[in-house]
């Protein structure tokens, strides 16, 4: 594929050709950083794991150069960290049996530059080749600038496709801000309680982040268990783990919908629910 960054690549865990591997895709996650996919889109991974009729592809947009580092990695340069994080993401793709893993290698600044079309062009190219039915990406209410930027670029890339070539569903997912604050009717609820060993293994391969001072493995698994327990106040737990998403599909069905107005609608409905409850019992 003709990517904008020379070092960009597509890794295929089973050794088949890139074209064949990408064409098998049914579920695709497009994330900002290495390990975001394993945190936010485990639902897609487990939906496809061990299945012949489904295949999961990961896409990481940035090169991971700005990540925090400590311990073994304390003195690593940005270039060394990029190499480590690339290998870690490929390890996750192998463990999770992804059909393919794209590493686009953009610096974060390029992703946040709304005037550049490079990121959108690369994502569009992958979408055309893969034709995924379901796409997972970041949450528009996330508090990480690069995450929100990636979500916006994904929307633009899908909108660049003819409507009959677009995914059936686009979901935004939790990483740097939970989605438990949304009203229950607005939540997309993903049951991710299956294969806890696989979930732990996928998160555990990112040693540069865990050893480097961020226990994403414990935090992500803990959040899933907390979501399952605190989702319903008047009932026993139905799952060992839940993640929450927002359905962004209307944004890829109707190009006139402004993403800003769309996400603020969720915030407004949350504010109205809080107000109504307080008024009811005051």
**Domain regions of the chain by residue span:** 9-281
Range of weakest confidence among 79-93, 150-164, 235-249: 235-249
The answer to whether 25 and 19 have CB atoms below 8 angstroms apart is no
> pLDDT band for position 90 (50/70/90)?
very high
Q: Is the pLDDT of residue 188 over 80?
A: yes
Give the mean pLDDT of 237-241: 81
pLDDT for 135 beyond 90:
yes
Contact 153, 111 (CB under 8 A): yes
Residue 113, by phi and psi: left (phi above 0), alpha (psi -120 to 50) or beta?
beta
> Which residues are CB-neighbours of 35 under 8 A, at least 6 positions away?
88, 89, 92, 203, 206, 209, 216
Average pLDDT, the chain: 94
Q: Is the pLDDT of residue 1 over 90?
A: no
The tokens describing 28, both together, are 């695709």
Q: How large is the average pLDDT for residues 159-167?
A: 97
Question: Given this model, what pLDDT does residue 235 score?
Answer: 65
pLDDT tens for each residue of 46-71: 999 999 999 999 999 999 887 777 77
The better pLDDT of the pair 129, 68 is held by: 129
Element (H, E) at 242: strand 242-247
Q: Look at the domain 9-281 and name its fold.
A: Rossmann fold (3.40.50)
């Amino acid at each position: 594929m003709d990517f904008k960054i020379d070092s960009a690549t597509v890794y295929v865990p089973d050794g088949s050709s890139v074209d064949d591997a990408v064409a098998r895709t049914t579920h695709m996650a497009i994330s900002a950083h290495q390990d975001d996919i394993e945190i936010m889109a485990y639902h897609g991974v487990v939906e496809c794991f061990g299945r012949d009729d489904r295949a999961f592809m990961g896409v990481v947009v940035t090169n991971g150069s700005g990540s925090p580092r400590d311990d073994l990695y304390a003195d690593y340069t940005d270039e060394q960290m990029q190499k480590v994080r690339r290998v870690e993401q490929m390890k996750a793709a192998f463990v999770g049996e992804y059909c393919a893993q794209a590493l686009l290698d953009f610096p974060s600044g390029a992703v946040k530059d709304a005037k550049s079309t490079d990121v959108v062009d690369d994502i569009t190219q992958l979408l055309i080749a893969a034709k995924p039915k379901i796409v997972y990406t970041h949450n528009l209410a996330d508090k990480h600038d690069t995450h929100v930027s990636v979500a916006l670029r994904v929307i633009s890339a899908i909108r660049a496709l003819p409507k009959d070539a677009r995914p059936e569903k686009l979901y935004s997912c939790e990483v740097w801000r939970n989605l438990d604050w949304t009203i229950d009717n607005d939540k997309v609820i993903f049951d991710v309680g299956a294969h806890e060993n696989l979930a732990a293994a996928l998160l555990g391969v990112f040693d540069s982040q865990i050893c480097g001072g961020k226990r994403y493995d414990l935090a992500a698994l803990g959040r899933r268990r907390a979501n399952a327990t605190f989702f319903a106040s008047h009932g026993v737990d139905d799952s060992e783990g839940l993640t929450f998403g927002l359905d962004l599909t209307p944004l890829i069905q109707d190009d006139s919908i402004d993403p800003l107005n769309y996400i603020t609608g969720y915030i407004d409905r949350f504010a109205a629910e809080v107000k109504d409850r307080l008024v009811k019992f005051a």
